[in-house]
Amino acid sequence: MIAWVRAAIFAVACVLSCSLSAQPATQDARIADALSLRDRMQYLTDGVADPAVWSPAGDAFHYRRTVIGGFRFVSVRLADRERRDMFDHARLAAAIGAVTGGEYRADRLPFDSFAFEGDDRTLRITVADRRLRCSLASYVCATVAPPPGRPRAFGVTRDMRVPADATPRRSPDGRHEATVEGDNLVVREVASGRQVIRTSDGSPGLFYDPETIAWSPDSRRLALYRVRPGHQRMIYRVASSPPDRLEPKLITQLYPKPGDVVDLERPVLFTLDGARQVDVDPALFDNPYQLSPLAWRSDSASLGFTYNQRGHGVYRLVEVDAVSGTPREVVAERSDTFVYAPRMDHRDVDGTGREIVWMSERSGWNHLYLVDGRTGRTRPITQGDWVVRRIVHVDAERRQVYFAANGREKGDPYLQHFYRIGLDGRGLVRLTEAEAFHDVSFAPDMAHYVDTYSRIDLPPVSELRRTSDGALVATLEQADISQLTAAGWQTPETFIAKGRDGVTDIWGVIVRPRDFDPAKRYPVIENIYGAGFDNFVPKKWWPFGYHAGGDEVVGMQAQADLGYIVVQIDGMGTLNRSKAFHDVTWKNVGEGGAPDRILWHKAAAARYRQYDASRVGLYGGSLGGQNALGGLLFFPDFYKAAVAYNGCHDNRMDKISWNEQWMGWPVDESYSRSSNVDNAWRLKGDLLLIVGELDMNVDPAVSMQVADRLIKAGKDFELLVVPGGDHGVGRTEAPFDEVLGRQYDFFARTLGAPQPTR
């Protein structure tokens, strides 16, 4: 126990001041080099383009591209296809600095995207969580107040401390407006102010929500949700070292957790003629996790919404007759495990609901189906052992649907391509040619598209193409990385091995030190993030951007340069493969695909004698932090050391959203089986826990609960608490060097250095 206390106090006390002087001078220099690698390499490319954004008129598009030393925003007009600066970068940098107090370089503006406001001469940007409006006519920026409205914590529980936006919603014909006063709906004539409807059944415990008002296109009816508010669970954080005062501050956040009562919404219909009210029978949506916003059909005959059942086992499209208020199921997705609601998508073919393009995994792969909106009969549009990622556009006139998918073409099954197919399932056309990951931006009229594509070993290319036949109109950008290569950049190696079933390919990447010596055996460090909401092994070339929950490729390179082989692997349970592949996550978040990843490690060690699978460590943040510690708890015979940044650690303590998605509802024993808190007693190996005291994403108390259980179990470990640190501390937010340096130092002490091959 004495060893733990010493380590913990040392780590906490040194978060902002200790150097790494315990390491040899050469190691100090190597760590300093690793910490500066991103800054030294990030600005050595030219012509690396982000995906394009079209103007509302469709006559031009813009994108951000790299230049040596930074970035620039360029605009291209279809008429001449010439590239121009989007704005005066120096003047905009000065304008932003004038309102924020910061200093910005013209080639490193503090935002990577923007939106037009009203016209193409006014931009909306966000700088360090501050919303700004910037005029390109005067080059003056001003702070924009956040939009009014009542926030919903993780989309399911309204924050009742904040008033709802009761701004009157005007009918399409402009004759009436609707709002909520004293929890009741009120509808008035605009011209006279005469009250047409006023309900009397609203109350604080069952109120009409003005933010959900939806007028029918013919202005004869409206609908909105009446809401029974859910549990107002507040969690508390103490800012120990606030910059503006001596005393600590208490921070309170609405934070629903798994099992909590969420808002219960019920749609109510109103007809202006006769002030008729119809409460919709809730039998088809009686246990909601979430209902979508109410959406009227174009003919005003009905309205629809989706129902995501609590527990995520049913996802249903409900249609409500506008006259009778009778609801019916149009189509539904059901699963014995889970329906991944964030991917579910559907589109009305003509806006009337007579035909619907519906996304479903009923075949075992995510595909598109055409649904008869009256009978519910479905027939496949796409089929095969591959995955539709999203619906892009439905062309009702030509009866075609555009979509993005992966896995249909030979090679890497994660590479995204774009396609067009008839609603009858015939005439499939592949719009993207290169074997690469494609980001395609279509013009509003669908006549042209910009295709930006790359692989981790293929620098980006950006092309303007014609949609009708896919013909190349112009090559916009072709990245030049010669200076980056001259500075020592090397491409990660893609490596594939069989998973636990002996059949499924598991894909990952290997990053070696830039001074790799084939006569040595290197310890291995795995950058882990095993969540089910995406795949995480990089597929695009850009190596400097952060992936969700994990480090970017250049971060893996920096760690590798200290004397390791660094890898990242998509084990089973991650997204963009088959339904069976994805289902491994269900009630099993604690595993993180480890059986597949361990087999992958062993296959790499069998291929390369320099790969020392007897010394494997892990690092990760958020769910990756949970996975990193889980490696030592549940697979201690393989993993030897772990650094866990702001880990979720116990899914009952984390946010309701993705935890109930994967772990289910009601809360059951599976939560305990995956819990790093309940299983802390199993710890073997070396552990460094890192937590920001003001993590607003994952409740930081859960890291302290892990520490508590480890202490009680007599386990030795290290703890780094960062005052003022948020969820991305050391990874996506400062302090970087002080925190990341502790990771480098930790692995040097626990995994050791390369050894001669035997």
pLDDT in tens, 389-398: 999 999 999 9
In a domain, 206, yes or no: yes
Task: Give the pLDDT confidence of 568-620 residue by residue, as tens digits.
Answer: 999 999 999 999 999 999 999 999 999 999 999 999 999 999 999 999 999 99
Sole residue written with tokens 């009562």: 261
At residue 313, does pLDDT exceed 90?
Answer: yes
DSSP secondary structure of 129-156: TEEEEEETTT--EEE-PPPPS--EETTT
- Residue 506 is predicted with a pLDDT of 98
Q: Which of 251, 269, 300 delimits the end of a domain?
A: 300
- Residue 546 is predicted with a pLDDT of 53
- Residue 17 is predicted with a pLDDT of 32
Tokens of 31: 């760590």
Percent of the chain with pLDDT over 70: 96
- Residue 551 is predicted with a pLDDT of 52
Supply angle C-alpha 441, 536, 678, rounded to 5.
140
> How far is residue 679 CA from its own chain's centroid?
28
State whether 283 and 178 are in the same domain: yes
- Residue 96 is predicted with a pLDDT of 98
In a domain, 401, yes or no: no
State whether 533 and 676 are in the same domain: yes
State whether 189 and 262 are in the same domain: yes
At residue 16, does pLDDT exceed 70?
Answer: no
In a domain, 716, yes or no: yes
Q: Which residue has the higher pLDDT, 22 or 537?
A: 537
Cα(587)–Cα(299) distance, rounded to whole angstroms? 43
In a domain, 307, yes or no: no
In a domain, 479, yes or no: no
- Residue 752 is predicted with a pLDDT of 94
- Residue 118 is predicted with a pLDDT of 81
State whether 745 and 599 are in the same domain: yes
What value does the mean pLDDT of the chain take? 94
CATH number of the structural domain spanning residue 534:
3.40.50.1820
State whether 229 and 90 are in the same domain: no
In a domain, 387, yes or no: no
Task: Give the pLDDT confidence of 140-160 residue by residue, as tens digits.
Answer: 999 999 989 999 999 999 999
State whether 220 and 101 are in the same domain: no
Range with lowest mean pLDDT among 417-421, 445-449, 732-736 = 732-736
Mean of the pLDDT values across residues 443-459? 97
- Residue 626 is predicted with a pLDDT of 98
In a domain, 478, yes or no: no
Task: Give the pLDDT confidence of 479-493 residue by residue, as tens digits.
Answer: 999 999 999 999 999
At residue 340, does pLDDT exceed 80?
Answer: yes
Task: Give the pLDDT confidence of 27-60 residue by residue, as tens digits.
Answer: 788 899 999 999 999 999 999 999 999 998 899 9
Q: Which of 244, 272, 300 delimits the end of a domain?
A: 300
Cα(275)–Cα(585) distance, rounded to whole angstroms? 50
State whether 589 and 727 are in the same domain: yes
State whether 97 and 153 are in the same domain: no
State whether 249 and 105 are in the same domain: no
State whether 227 and 282 are in the same domain: yes
Q: What is the largest CA-CA distance in the chain?
A: 92
What is the separation, in whole angstroms, between the first and last Cα of the chain?
Answer: 37
- Residue 25 is predicted with a pLDDT of 57
- Quote the domain boundaries for residue 275: 148-300
State whether 173 and 280 are in the same domain: yes
State whether 123 and 197 are in the same domain: no
Domain tally, the chain: 3
- Residue 24 is predicted with a pLDDT of 46
- Residue 463 is predicted with a pLDDT of 98
Supply angle C-alpha 494, 498, 501, rounded to 5.
150
Q: Which of 281, 300, 319 delimits the end of a domain?
A: 300
- Residue 29 is predicted with a pLDDT of 87
At residue 525, does pLDDT exceed 50?
Answer: yes
In a domain, 535, yes or no: yes
